Amino acid sequence: MLLEVDDIHVHYGQIEALKGISIDVERGEVVTLIGANGAGKTTVLKTISGLRKVTSGRVRFDGRDITTLPGHARVELGLCQAPEGRGIFPGMSVVDNLEMGAYARKDRRQRDALVSDFERVYGLFPRLAERRKQMGGTLSGGEQQMLAIGRALMARPQLLLLDEPSMGLAPMLVSQIFSIISDISAQGVTILLVEQNAAQALQRADRAYVLESGRVVKAAPARDLLDDPSVRAAYLGGDVGG
């Protein structure tokens, strides 16, 4: 098992945001978390990446207990996140933003070592190759999302955490982003995906967890949840097209 999250509780002050969440991700899988706004999906990712402290419970990554490990050390182990809202550096070029993704790598100052990583990112996102000298803040929303994912890939992650990659994008770009997520998975990267577009997420994922009010209420193969009447009614509007 690559990732094991065991009975984690997380608080924001007096408010308990996560109430005993347990999930796992096998190496090579795409696993998605779906649920309404406020269900705790982003908090789960922040806890896994080390941005939120665990009140109780345990997080294991690649056989190692990382519950108290700081975020930058988790990146060094190969656990990387493309955050909600993209979080790119607007005053830096596309190339510089991508280089920041490699900051935790020991070979980051060796330009030759990064060549294959740039080629990989530009192969997935040709638009970034065209915009490589452009400032991040002048990119479109879709291009900024591509840059956020590309930056995370520069760290050579074992596990890529994606938080709402389709947020705010036009429908055509949503389909493109999800197609690229499938391409990244095909390259051998394990993915844990948080996504409001439940239909797209479930169509791309191997397994899924449904969160409500800080708890896991369903866990099943993604295709099974596509056919689950309660999931269709709550998150799919009866439509799994697209």
- pLDDT per residue over 140-178, tens digit each? 999 999 999 999 999 999 999 999 999 888 888 899 999
pLDDT for 30 equals 98
The mean pLDDT of the chain is: 93
When mean pLDDT is compared across 23-27, 108-112, 114-118, the lowest value belongs to 108-112
Quote the tokens at residue 26: 């096998």
Report yes or no: 105 and 153 within 8 Å, Cβ to Cβ.
Answer: no
For a pLDDT cut of 70, what percent of the chain falls above it? 96
Residue 239 has pLDDT above 50, yes or no: no
Predicted TM-score (pTM) of this structure: 0.92
Residue 110 has pLDDT above 90, yes or no: no
Residue appearing with tokens 């080629």 = 119
When mean pLDDT is compared across 16-30, 34-48, 70-84, 102-116, the lowest value belongs to 102-116
Span 55-76, average pLDDT? 96
pLDDT for 237 equals 66
CA 45 to mean position of chain CA atoms: 8
As a whole number of angstroms, the distance between CA 33 and CA 65 comes to 22
- Give the H/E segment covering residue 79: strand 79-82
Residue 232 has pLDDT above 50, yes or no: yes
Superfamily holding 3-78+157-235: P-loop containing nucleotide triphosphate hydrolases (3.40.50.300)
CA 209 to mean position of chain CA atoms: 14
Report yes or no: 19 and 7 within 8 Å, Cβ to Cβ.
Answer: no
